[in-house]
Amino acid sequence: MATSIISWNVNGMRAVLKKGFMDWFEKTQPDILAVQESRVLPDELKPEHLEPKGYTSFWMPAQKRGYSGVAAYVKKEPLNVTNLGKSEFDDEGRVQVLEYKNFTLINTYFPNSQPERKRIEYKLKFCDAIKRYCNKLVKNGTNVVLCGDYNIAHTEIDIARPKANVDSPGFLPEERESMDKFLNAGYVDTFRHFNKEPGHYSWWSYRANARANNVGWRIDYHTVNTDFLPQVKSADILSDVMGSDHCPVTITLK
C-alpha cells in the first residue's frame, strides 16, 4: 500500500486555519502531513485542529512564543517521536523525528541565514548536524526521509532569478555547497529525480505579485538516502494550494 507524505511550511498555524486549511486537509487525506513554522503551542488550538478525524498530531514548538516550530499529523502512529537532541536547535523547534518500521521521517525547518549573513554560521552548523544525524541512521540500517523547508534554493533552476540573488539568504554559495555535500553523502532530491525542468517553485515573496508571475524559489524538499530511492513512487509540488507563502510538497512511497 502506498504512503503519501506532504510537507508544508504553513507560515503560522493560526493564520493558515483561517484560509481553508482544514478543508484542504480533509480533502487531501495524506498519510502524514509534516508542517513547519507552526508558530503555535498545541494548547492554543481547538481539539478539532489537533485531532482531525482519523489523525493524531505531534508538536515540537519553539521555546520562544510565536516563533518557528514543527508538527506532524499522522494516520498511523509512529513507534517513537523525538527531536534532534541538540538544545541549540531543539529550543527553536526545528526538528521532529518520527520513527516508523520501514523508514524514519525527519521533519525540519532549516534556519534562514538572514540578510548580511547574520545567521550563516548557525545555519551551516544546523546543516552539518542534520547530515551527521541522517548518516548515523543510514549507517545503522535505517532508511531516511528528510522533509521540510530547507531555506536553500540548491541550483540555478531552483530559483527564478539566480543572477539577481547571488548574495541573497537561501542562495548563498555556502548554503548551496552544504546542500551539495549532503546529496553527495548519499542522498537524493526526490523532486529532481523525477523532474529536471526549471520553473517549479515552492516559495514566493508576498511582494510584487511574485506568485502570480511565478517568480519563486524551490526551497522545500523531500530527500531520501540512495538505497531508499526505489521505494519512492513519485514526488510533486502542489503549487495551486494557497494559504501560505510556501506551497505543499509531496512524495508517495510504494
Contact 150, 182 (CB under 8 A): no
Is residue 149 annotated as part of the catalytic site, yes or no?
Answer: yes
Q: Work out whether strand 216-217 and strand 56-60 pair parallel, antiparallel, or are unpaired.
A: unpaired
Q: In what order do the strands lie in the sheet with 56-60?
A: 56-60, 70-74, 32-36, 3-9, 249-253, 232-237
Task: In whole angstroms, give the CA distance from residue 45 to residue 101.
Answer: 30
Write down the catalytic residue from 31, 149, 189, 240: 149
Contact 170, 112 (CB under 8 A): yes
What letters, b where the CB count within 10 A reaches 16 and e where it falls short, cover 79-99? eebebbeeeebbebbbbbbbe
Please list the active-site residues: 149
